[in-house]
Structure 1
Amino acid sequence: MKKIYSVEEYIEEHQNFGEALTLLRAIINSTDVGETVKWSAPVYTVNGKNVLGLGAFKKHFGIWFFNGVFLKDEHKLLVNAQENKTKALRQMRFKTIEDIDKNLVLLYVKEAIENQKLGKEIKPERTKKKTIIPEALKAILTSNNKLKLAFDNLSPYKQREYCEYIDIAKRETTKQTRLEKIIPMIIQGVGLHDKYKNC
C-alpha cells in the first residue's frame, strides 16, 4: 500500500467509500479536533493525543476510537477489532453511507473528545524483562564480592547486556574469554557498549 500524506489522498485511495468518508470527516471536523495523517490514515487529535481516526477496508469503513473502551456506547454501535487483544481501541463500522446517523456519530465523537480532555486513557503495559544470569557469570559473582556489588549497581539494562553477551557464546572457551573481558568493565560500572554510545 502506498504512503498517504493527506486526508484527501486517503479518501481518493478509497473511492468506493469516498462520499461516506467525506461525510464522516465533516462531522468530525465540526468539533475542536486537530486533523493529521498517521500510519497513512486520517487521525484526529486533542492536545496532541490520538482520539479517533477514519478507516476504510474492502467491505466496510468507519471510525476508530483510540480509547473507545471508555465510551458509554448506549446504542451498541462499537465493536472490539480483536477480542481479548485490543484493550482500549473500539470501532464504529458502516457498510454504506445510509448507515451513518450524523447525530449519533457526533454524540460519540464529542464524548471521545471529552474523555480525552479528562485524561481517560489506557496506557500500554510495560513488561519488565527478567535478567537471567548465566551459570559461568553467576559462579564468578558468587566468589567475588567486589564484582557482585559492582554488577548489582549496574542498571537492569546493562546487566542484561552482559548476561546476553555471555549467554550467546556457543563455546566454553569463548564464554571464558568474554568473562575475562567484562570483569574490569563491570568493576568500572560501564555498560558493554558504552564506548559506542554518543559517538
Structure 2
Amino acid sequence: MDCRPSRTQDPDEWIATCPTFSKPLCEEVREWMFRWEPDLTESINSNMLCYSLKKRVVSLGAFNDHAEICFYRGGELNDAAKLFNHGEGNMGIRGIKLKSLDELDKAALRALVHAAVALDAQPALPPPPKVKREAWPMPPLLAEGLKKNKKAAAFFASLKPTYQREYMVWVGTAKREETQQARLKETLKALAAGKKWAQRKEV
C-alpha cells in the first residue's frame, strides 16, 4: 500500500490528479464502487481512495504503471476467481494490481466487493495463536565455558530465555572449531560485562 502523505483530502481532486496511466483505471473502478455499494463512504487515507462502512473495506491506489484495489480483510475472503495477485500470504490486506481492465473478471470483482462489505459487519478474526518455539539445547561448549566463568554464568542465568537463546544459537550454530572458539570467547566476555547478545559489540 502507498504510505506517502495524501496529496489531497478531496476524492474528486484525488481522481483528477492521478498519474496518467492509472487515472482511467481508477475512474472506472470508482464508478463501479458507486454503483455496486452506494452506501459506502468515500475518503482519502495514506494517498488511497478508501471506501468504508463500519471500517475501511476497500481502497484504490493510483501508481505510475498500475492501479491497485486493496481489500482490508482480504485474507478472510473466498477469492474463488483468484483475483488477488498482491499480498497473497497476508492474513489481512490483499490486493489486485491492475494494468488493464480488459481481462479483469468484473462479475467476480463485484462479488468480492459485496462479500467484503458483508464481512465488515462481522468482528475481525482473532490473530493466529503464537507458535511456541522448542527450547534450544545448551551447546556443550558454552556450558563448559560458563562453568569456568562465574561472572558470565551469573549474568547468563539472570537473562530471560529469549536472550539466553540468542547466545546459545550463536555459539551452537558455528561450524568450524575456530569460529566456535571465537564466538565462545566473545560470548563469555560480553556476559561477564553484563551485555545481551545484541550489545556484545559494545564490550
TMscore range, shorter length: 0.5 to 0.7
Deviation at 1:181, TM superposition (A): 0.9
CA 1:70–1:5 in structure 2 vs 1: closer, same or farther (change >3 Å)? same
Is 2:59 the partner of 1:53? Answer: yes
- What is the TM-score with the length of structure 2 in the denominator? 0.52
Whether contact under 8 Å (1:33, 1:44) holds in the other structure is yes
Q: 1:175 aligns with which of 173, 177, 183?
A: 183
The CA RMSD over aligned residues, in Å, is 5.3
> Sequence identity, in percent?
18
Is 2:67 the partner of 1:81? Answer: no
Q: Deviations over 1:6-39 (max 9, x none)?
A: 443446451342431342464568414653136x
Q: Which aligned pairs between 1:76-155 and structure 2 lie closer than 5 A?
A: 79-81=83-85, 85=89, 89=94, 91=96, 95-96=101-102, 105=110, 108-109=112-113, 111-121=115-125, 123=127, 131=136, 133-141=138-146, 151=156, 153-155=158-160
Segments of structure 2 that go 5 or more residues without pairing to the other structure are 8-13
Which of 117-126 and 52-61 deviates more? 52-61
Whether contact under 8 Å (2:77, 2:116) holds in the other structure is yes
CA 1:77–1:180 in structure 2 vs 1: closer, same or farther (change >3 Å)? closer
Partners of 2:191 and 2:88 in 1: CA distance: 45
Segments of structure 1 that go 5 or more residues without pairing to the other structure are none
- Which aligned runs of 4 or more in structure 1 are off by greater than 6 angstroms? 56-60, 142-149
Report what 2:23 is aligned to: 15
Whether contact under 8 Å (1:182, 1:192) holds in the other structure is yes
Partners of 1:132 and 1:126 in 2: CA distance: 21
Report what 2:10 is aligned to: none
Q: 2:192 aligns with which of 180, 184, 187?
A: 184
